[in-house]
Amino acid sequence: MPFIEHISYSDLERLALQRLVPALLSHGFCYVDGLLGELAGSAVLDQVVEMHNSGQLQDGRLAGSIPGVSRRSIRGDKIAWVSGSERGCEAISFLLNLIDRLISVCASRLGDKAIQERSKAMVACYPGNGAGYVKHVDNPNHDGRHLTCIYYLNKDWNPKEHGGVLRIFPESKPYVVDIKPLFDRLLVFWSDRRNPHEVQPSYATRYAITVWYFDSEERAQAKKRFRALT
């Protein structure tokens, strides 16, 4: 697909070194607007909409269940996991490649963790029926996830009308941070207990793509623990 590579390596390096790294180190999160531009961002959106319309998204799963509490009241998204190499995911693959390049510039500057691999991409849709995702931590128990990167795809999003704001509750801070899920916005934050967050009820179809980058050491330990249990 003929995307225009509107971000050069030096742009990426500048974004990583001047914005992402300092913000992550001082605040624990950072967002960047206009990551891909209108053309490539719209191509990603089209592919996600097509996945949704063709029934490829399934109810998001919970790590456990609470008797008497419905899944939807905790987490109301529909998701699919993609590597990017699937047919019809070329634009998503382009996005993932760009995020990989960005994070690889940041990786050695974010402390002593080796960040060398990531999860597949989770394509998510909150269908607009008032569902959200209650306050949670992505990696509360050392499963290896170190950085959460969320790319939002929602044009003309009006939080007053559509809700769907991501609220971060930075650990030990007296404030919260509200992130609107705006088209072509990339949000990056630490996946561990430093950043509890919630998706507020969403009243319009809300799309996002999330990837998690692993701390290699923690991930290897987590896999060992998991194997010991099975």
Tell me if 124 sits within 8 A of 211, measured CB to CB: no
112's CB contacts (< 8 A; 6+ apart) are none
- What is the distance between the alpha carbons of residues 182 and 155, in angstroms, rounded to a whole number? 6
- Answer for which of 48, 96, 99, 166 binds ligand AKG (CB under 6 A) is 166
Cβ closest to ligand AKG, residue 18 vs residue 70 = 70
Closest CA to 119 of 134, 138, 135: 138
User: Nearest distance from residue 210's CB to ligand AKG, in Å?
Assistant: 6
- What is the distance between the alpha carbons of residues 32 and 101, in angstroms, rounded to a whole number? 15
- Answer for which of 93, 200, 202, 210 binds ligand AKG (CB under 6 A) is 210
Could you please report the per-residue DSSP string of 148-161?
Answer: EEEEE-BTT--HHH
Cβ closest to ligand AKG, residue 3 vs residue 169 = 169
User: Nearest distance from residue 103's CB to ligand AKG, in Å?
Assistant: 18
- Answer for which of 208, 209, 211, 222 binds ligand AKG (CB under 6 A) is 208
User: Nearest distance from residue 124's CB to ligand AKG, in Å?
Assistant: 6
Q: Does 199 bind ligand AKG (CB under 6 A)?
A: yes
- Answer for which of 29, 31, 94, 133 binds ligand AKG (CB under 6 A) is 133
Q: Does 82 bind ligand AKG (CB under 6 A)?
A: no
Q: Does 36 bind ligand AKG (CB under 6 A)?
A: no
Secondary structure E strands in the chain: 29-33, 58-59, 78-82, 115-118, 121-126, 133-136, 145-152, 166-168, 177-179, 185-190, 197-199, 206-215
Binding site for ligand AKG (CB under 6 A): 124, 133, 138, 150, 166, 181, 197, 199, 208, 210
